[in-house]
A and B are shown apart, each in its own frame.
Chain A
Amino acid sequence: MDTRQVITSLDPALIPLAPLVGAAAAYGLGRKNRVFSGVIATFAAIVAFALTLKGVFDLAPSAIKEAHLWRWFGVGQVAFDMTLRLDRLSSVMCLVITGIGSLIHLYSTAYMADDEGMPRFFAYLNLFLFSMLVLVLGGNLLVLFIGWEGVGLCSYLLIGFWFRNLNYCGAGRKAFVVNRIGDAGVLMGIFLLLKHFGTVDFLLLNDRLGEAAALFDPKLAAVCTLIGFCLFIGATGKSAQLPLFVWLPDAMAGPTPVSALIHAATMVTAGVYLFARAHFVFDSAGAELGLIVVVVAALTAFISATIAVAQNDIKKVLAYSTVSQLGFMFLAAGAGAYWVALFHVITHAFFKACLFLGAGSVIHGCHHEQDMRQMGGLRRLMPVTFITYFISTLAIAGIYPFSGFHSKHAILASLGQSPNSLIVASAPIIVLIASVTAGLTAFYMTRSLVLTFFGSYRGHAHPHESPWKMTVPLIVLAVLAVIGGIGLEHSLPHYLEAVLPRAHAHESLAPIDSLGASWIGVLGVLIGVFLYGPLASVPPAIAKAIPLLLRLLQGKYFIDEVYQTLIVRPLEGVSRVLWRGVDQGVIDGTVNGTAEVVEVSGELVRTMQTGDVRHYALYLFGAIATMVAVYLVW
């Protein structure tokens, strides 16, 4: 990393420019003809993808393409620049964002074809791409934070896209508010970095931390632990980890392509990217921070997987599955294996986007039915959707040779090889939890697959296969979900070795051993197949046997209710006191009291106005007499 070469280039600026222009054009021109907006937005996304490819094409291992746009502002000795940088780390993310983004844009042109708000939708979607690219390309934490807030805004706008439904609006607001808690953490991290190192520029920070480490600064570890913890709080908000994951399941109120793009493939992985981008902070931090991250990640993965088992809404299953998979990513990130985390980000983006788009296709085909109990038997009616969903299920279940196996295997392997001694010590327990979670994942995904596509149709609509604009992205993503693991297992660490520490592939298993290693996934799949296939009478029996546990799972551990009681209610109470007592009582009371005093005194004084001149004469003389008296007495 010492050999980095900074090249001035416009590429990093042009990539986000395309969707920004696209957003304006999609909204401006799309209002006349809404089909137009989809075409423009999709074109803009493809242009961004092409620009990324062009920018990546000649990117040397340790090269950084830098676009210094303008000096934003300066405070004292500290200057903040609008700098965008494209290096190999951000290029990977850019490829994922623009690539999958393009596919989802294409998909959306069909999915949203009947919606009046199409121009708005595509404008938001392009704006999201822009924000996400700014987040990824930002040369310093402040620019990253602009993108960070921008994606939060777009997420809010798109969750509440169907704003006539007040529940959806509430879901959007919840996502926004919960994210703000995390954002406060990021901001505190930025402030602490400024305080201790005087800069938020990633390259400069890297150098300063290196200098501090070379001087054996005794406070370095403590400071970095604190900063890392603040950034991790931000990551738990954006990437839906405990305790802030509650917004992501509700975020499924948005249109399904949005769930695929924002709430599965890209935005929610921003926290992981933050870890990789600021890896020097986490590497310099104490071992406790890594342990906290890993424990939180493992708990998140396990808890959300158990909730997913009891869900009936197909999108809710996928949402909790996303939370669970994000937990896996943070396992790797916390263990210091940043490339592994990124690896899982990419494979997850492939298969989870495919799953979400498949679910969208099903929902579209079943006329906006989301309850899996109202589906079934769709494999003949929607063959393409079925095959792609099936492949992605195998991928997420972690079965060799599909992509999920490779990334999950790498995650479990990285725990034991972590540079963090505390994690290595606790690795057996963590690996156990992660393995059980992987089995649960296989189980509930198989459950959703069987409930949706096998058996006989239980709904009342007339399901039909989706148009090519929707199936083509499905096919592309399914192919990527198959080959992504094998293709990237060795090439990704090699590609990233100059920008990330410890970017070296784990020794890969022989195919036969890999098949053996995927036993837990196979087990989960088999249980799922049998419980919802031949032994369909068993799940209700189980449900009867453990009613309390089932209620707990269906109620999502009542975390929302707990938050409602512990945080929202007291806050509302305080607000009510401030509203009724302080605002209405004191402030309004002062204003209204003034008015009342005026009114009452006016009522008193107006009795003086009799209209009789003689009374006025009396007042006149009284006033004169008083003045004379005052004059004489003085």
Chain B
Amino acid sequence: MSVTIAILSVCMLISAVSVVAARSPIVSALALVGNLITVAAFYAAMNAHFLAAVQILVYAGAIVVLVLFVLMLLNVKGEAGKKSDFILRVGAAIIAGFFLLTVVPIWDGWLGLSNLSAPEGTVRAIGKLVYTDYVYCFEVASILILIAVVGAVTLGRRARIPNIASE
């Protein structure tokens, strides 16, 4: 295990726990940025250059900035003191325990995966695949984004329908 991977893993876990544990949502968002950048570094380490770039541009650059913008806009404070109810905490613990349990077979190498290196994930290589084999998916994805834009605009408008709750 190389030193790079070890350092990245530590960063990854710390930032992930910070996202969940931070009281302030702003801190969570910043921790998320760190996490995303770590993931980008992982991508770069695995020769996925295109994805590493997109990760930083789209995720860290666009999505998290959008989240931060909404947080600022709504002026969201940290959650009030009361804790989640018992069922949720126990349930979360069980779920987490189960998913962590899956680490054991992975660590023991049950999957029998080797470290074959893939072709380099350059813009050229990915683009060739996306515009040939996955062209239909690509077109569908464009329609999906169009729908998402229309949906966001519709939701963002001030509702003309009178609020049912206020009646």
Partners in one complex: yes
Q: Closest B residue to A624 by CB, please name it.
A: B95
Residues of A contacting B94 with CB < 8 Å? 622, 625
* Cβ contact within 8 Å between B95 and A615: no
* Bound CA–CA A599/B95 (angstroms): 31
- Which of A618, A625, A628 is B88 in contact with, Cβ under 8 Å? A618
Residues of B contacting A579 with CB < 8 Å? none
B100 to chain A, nearest CB (A): 11
* Bound CA–CA A614/B102 (angstroms): 23
Chain A: interface residue total (CB-CB under 8 A): 8
* Bound CA–CA A628/B98 (angstroms): 10
* Cβ contact within 8 Å between A618 and B99: no
- Which of B87, B92, B98 is A629 in contact with, Cβ under 8 Å? B98
Q: Closest A residue to B95 by CB, please name it.
A: A621
B66 to chain A, nearest CB (A): 21
Chain B: interface residue total (CB-CB under 8 A): 10
* Cβ contact within 8 Å between A622 and B84: no
User: Interface 1/0s, chain A 527-546, versus B by CB < 8 A?
Assistant: 00000000000000000000
* Cβ contact within 8 Å between B98 and A625: yes
* Bound CA–CA A621/B87 (angstroms): 14
* Bound CA–CA A621/B99 (angstroms): 10
- Give me the interface of B with A, judged by CB distance under 8 Å: 84, 87-88, 91-92, 94-95, 98-99, 102
* Cβ contact within 8 Å between B99 and A615: no
* Cβ contact within 8 Å between B91 and A622: yes
Q: A615-B87, A629-B98 are in contact. List 5 more A-B contacts (CB 8 A).
A: A614-B84, A618-B92, A618-B95, A621-B95, A625-B94
* Bound CA–CA A475/B88 (angstroms): 103
* Cβ contact within 8 Å between A615 and B98: no
* Cβ contact within 8 Å between A622 and B95: yes
Residues of B contacting A618 with CB < 8 Å? 87-88, 91-92, 95
Q: Determine the main DSSP class of B at the interface with A.
A: helix
Residues of B contacting A615 with CB < 8 Å? 87-88
Q: Closest B residue to A621 by CB, please name it.
A: B95
* Bound CA–CA A628/B95 (angstroms): 12
Residues of A contacting B88 with CB < 8 Å? 614-615, 618
B32 to chain A, nearest CB (A): 18
Residues of B contacting A622 with CB < 8 Å? 91, 94-95
B36 to chain A, nearest CB (A): 22
* Bound CA–CA A628/B92 (angstroms): 17
- Give me the interface of A with B, judged by CB distance under 8 Å: 614-615, 618, 621-622, 625, 628-629
* Bound CA–CA A628/B102 (angstroms): 10
* Bound CA–CA A622/B84 (angstroms): 18
Residues of B contacting A629 with CB < 8 Å? 98
5 A-B pairs (CB sep. < 8 Å) = A618-B87, A618-B91, A618-B95, A621-B91, A628-B102
* Bound CA–CA A486/B137 (angstroms): 113
Residues of A contacting B92 with CB < 8 Å? 618
A587 to chain B, nearest CB (A): 41
Q: Closest B residue to A615 by CB, please name it.
A: B88
* Cβ contact within 8 Å between A625 and B95: yes
B35 to chain A, nearest CB (A): 20
Q: Closest A residue to B98 by CB, please name it.
A: A625
B82 to chain A, nearest CB (A): 13
A621 to chain B, nearest CB (A): 5
Residues of A contacting B99 with CB < 8 Å? 625
Residues of B contacting A621 with CB < 8 Å? 91, 95
* Bound CA–CA A278/B46 (angstroms): 108
* Bound CA–CA A268/B98 (angstroms): 89
A610 to chain B, nearest CB (A): 9
Residues of A contacting B102 with CB < 8 Å? 628
* Bound CA–CA A622/B87 (angstroms): 12
* Bound CA–CA A614/B87 (angstroms): 11
A573 to chain B, nearest CB (A): 56
CB-based closest 4 A-B pairs:
A618-B91, A621-B95, A625-B98, A614-B88
B20 to chain A, nearest CB (A): 13
* Bound CA–CA A615/B91 (angstroms): 9
* Bound CA–CA A301/B78 (angstroms): 106
Q: Closest A residue to B92 by CB, please name it.
A: A618
* Bound CA–CA A494/B78 (angstroms): 122
* Bound CA–CA A629/B105 (angstroms): 13
Residues of B contacting A625 with CB < 8 Å? 94-95, 98-99
A615, A625, A628 — most chain B CB neighbours (10 Å): A625
* Bound CA–CA A625/B102 (angstroms): 10
Residues of B contacting A628 with CB < 8 Å? 98, 102
* Bound CA–CA A618/B98 (angstroms): 13
B84, B87, B92, B95 — most chain A CB neighbours (10 Å): B95
A324 to chain B, nearest CB (A): 85
B107 to chain A, nearest CB (A): 15
* Bound CA–CA A629/B97 (angstroms): 13
* Bound CA–CA A615/B88 (angstroms): 7
* Bound CA–CA A429/B99 (angstroms): 106
* Bound CA–CA A628/B91 (angstroms): 17
* Bound CA–CA A622/B98 (angstroms): 10
Q: Closest B residue to A619 by CB, please name it.
A: B91
Residues of A contacting B87 with CB < 8 Å? 615, 618
A622 to chain B, nearest CB (A): 7
* Bound CA–CA A629/B98 (angstroms): 9
B99 to chain A, nearest CB (A): 7
A30 to chain B, nearest CB (A): 64
* Bound CA–CA A628/B105 (angstroms): 14
* Bound CA–CA A628/B99 (angstroms): 10
A618, A622, A628, A629 — most chain B CB neighbours (10 Å): A618
* Bound CA–CA A335/B98 (angstroms): 99
* Bound CA–CA A615/B84 (angstroms): 11
* Bound CA–CA A615/B98 (angstroms): 18
A21 to chain B, nearest CB (A): 70
* Bound CA–CA A629/B101 (angstroms): 11
* Bound CA–CA A615/B87 (angstroms): 9
* Bound CA–CA A629/B88 (angstroms): 21
* Bound CA–CA A614/B95 (angstroms): 13
Residues of B contacting A614 with CB < 8 Å? 84, 88
B84, B91, B94, B99 — most chain A CB neighbours (10 Å): B91
B15 to chain A, nearest CB (A): 22
A631 to chain B, nearest CB (A): 11
* Bound CA–CA A625/B94 (angstroms): 10
B84, B92, B98 — most chain A CB neighbours (10 Å): B98
* Bound CA–CA A622/B96 (angstroms): 10
B124 to chain A, nearest CB (A): 37
* Bound CA–CA A615/B90 (angstroms): 12
A290 to chain B, nearest CB (A): 91
B96 to chain A, nearest CB (A): 9
Residues of A contacting B95 with CB < 8 Å? 618, 621-622, 625
* Bound CA–CA A628/B100 (angstroms): 13
A627 to chain B, nearest CB (A): 11
A205 to chain B, nearest CB (A): 84
A426 to chain B, nearest CB (A): 95
Residues of A contacting B84 with CB < 8 Å? 614
B56 to chain A, nearest CB (A): 29
* Bound CA–CA A139/B133 (angstroms): 88
* Bound CA–CA A625/B97 (angstroms): 10
A8 to chain B, nearest CB (A): 85
